[in-house]
Amino acid sequence: MAKRGLTLDTPTALSYVGQTVLLELRWEGDTESFWQCADIVGVLIPRDSMQGAPCFLAVEVSSSTGNPNEFYFDDICTIRAMRYRDRHGSGNVLGRMTLTHSPDGSGSGAALPARRNSSTVPANGSTGAANP
């Protein structure tokens, strides 16, 4: 499968600073993508006179050190900003994410950890279980 990188203009990339996002990543040479949750703390957008590729500086939510890593736009298949309630509430987070960006506008089609409109999870995201 051809590599699908993310193309963002500067204002859109900067709009993610301070956001918690879910990133679908596929590294060169890998056939499968994977998901990573991170807090975007900065953006590097090289000028014409600079070498390098555009990337987000982000701290992975699972990080024990809190040090930012680079997430290059070329490795990002999909990025989804999470709303405040998604990060701190209970329930189906993946069903309420916003701001999907991908090269063709449709997302990657990779399987998400949760499914909607299935026999176990209806369209409204409810599993029927009580939330304390």
Q: Structure pTM?
A: 0.60
Q: Residue 68 pLDDT more than 90?
A: yes
Would you place residue 90 in the very low, low, confident or very high pLDDT band (cuts 50, 70, 90)?
Answer: very low
Backbone angles phi, psi at 14, to 5 degrees: -65, -25
Q: Higher confidence at residue 4 or residue 109?
A: 4
Q: Could you tell me the residue ranges of all domains in the chain?
A: 10-101
6-53 per-position pLDDT tens digit = 788 889 999 999 999 999 999 888 889 999 999 999 999 888 887 888
Q: Find all residues with CB under 8 Å of 125, minimum gap 6, and list them.
A: 91, 92, 95, 96, 116
CATH 2.30.30 at 10-101, yes or no: yes
- Cβ contact 102:117 at 8 Å: no
